A = this chain, B = another copy of it.
Amino acid sequence: MPSATAPDADARIRGLMDSSAKAIREKDLDALMRHYAPDVVTFDLMVPLQVKGAAAYRKNFESWFGSVKGPIDYEVLELTISQGDELALCHYLARVRSTRTTGEKNDYRVRVTSGCRESEGRWKIVHEHVSIPLTMENMRAALAAQP
């Protein structure tokens, strides 16, 4: 069972997820990166397999934000939070709609898992996994692309 502080902690984790999504929509790198622990390990949507540290992960967001014209419509769907006393596990689907700087319009859904840990009274994301599932055809291409 959740501890006595769980409802508070749950609200804080929801706040963290809301604030992250808002920062993505506004492409506000500084506001976004405040939510990540310095040693966060990320399995991001694009290669490579993993990204270690918030500084490296920031570069991924920087590159994404730079490829998009105007705000990003980042809609969080089916957010589920499992809450412990010092660890929380969140997962959700995000519908992402944007216009690339090339003019191309995108509308897709990704799966996001975020692990959060409390340290010195603040919850931060310590692990994040973002992906799109593969079709059999894409699987072959993804495997062929691996070193």
Q: Which residues of chain A (1-15) have a CB below 8 Å from chain B?
A: 1, 3
Report the Cα distance A93→B43, complex, angstroms: 10
Q: Give chain A's interface residue range (CB within 8 Å of chain B).
A: 35 or more
Residues on the B chain within 8 Å of A137, using CB:
141, 145
Q: A23 → chain B, closest Cβ, in Å?
A: 22
Whether A87 is near chain B, meaning CB under 8 Å from some CB there, is: yes
Q: Assess the B141–A145 pair: CB atoms within 8 A.
A: no
For the complex formed, measure the closest distance between the CB of A144 and the CB atoms of chain B, giving whole angstroms: 9
* Contact residue among B43, B87, B117 (Cβ-Cβ distance under 8 Å from A113): B43
- Using A41-B80, A133-B45, A133-B46 as known contacts, say yes or no to A143 and B108 having CB atoms under 8 A apart: yes
Stretch at the interface among A25-33, A68-76, A124-132: A124-132
Assess the B91–A88 pair: CB atoms within 8 A.
no
Contact between A46 and B134 (Cβ–Cβ < 8 Å)?
yes
Could you list 12 A-B pairs, sorted by A, with CB under 8 Å? A43-B129, A46-B136, A49-B133, A50-B111, A84-B87, A91-B127, A109-B146, A113-B127, A131-B131, A132-B146, A135-B142, A137-B141
Interface residues of A (CB under 8 A from B): 1, 3, 41, 43-50, 78, 80, 82-89, 91, 93, 106, 108-109, 111, 113, 115, 117, 126-127, 129, 131-139, 141-143, 145-146
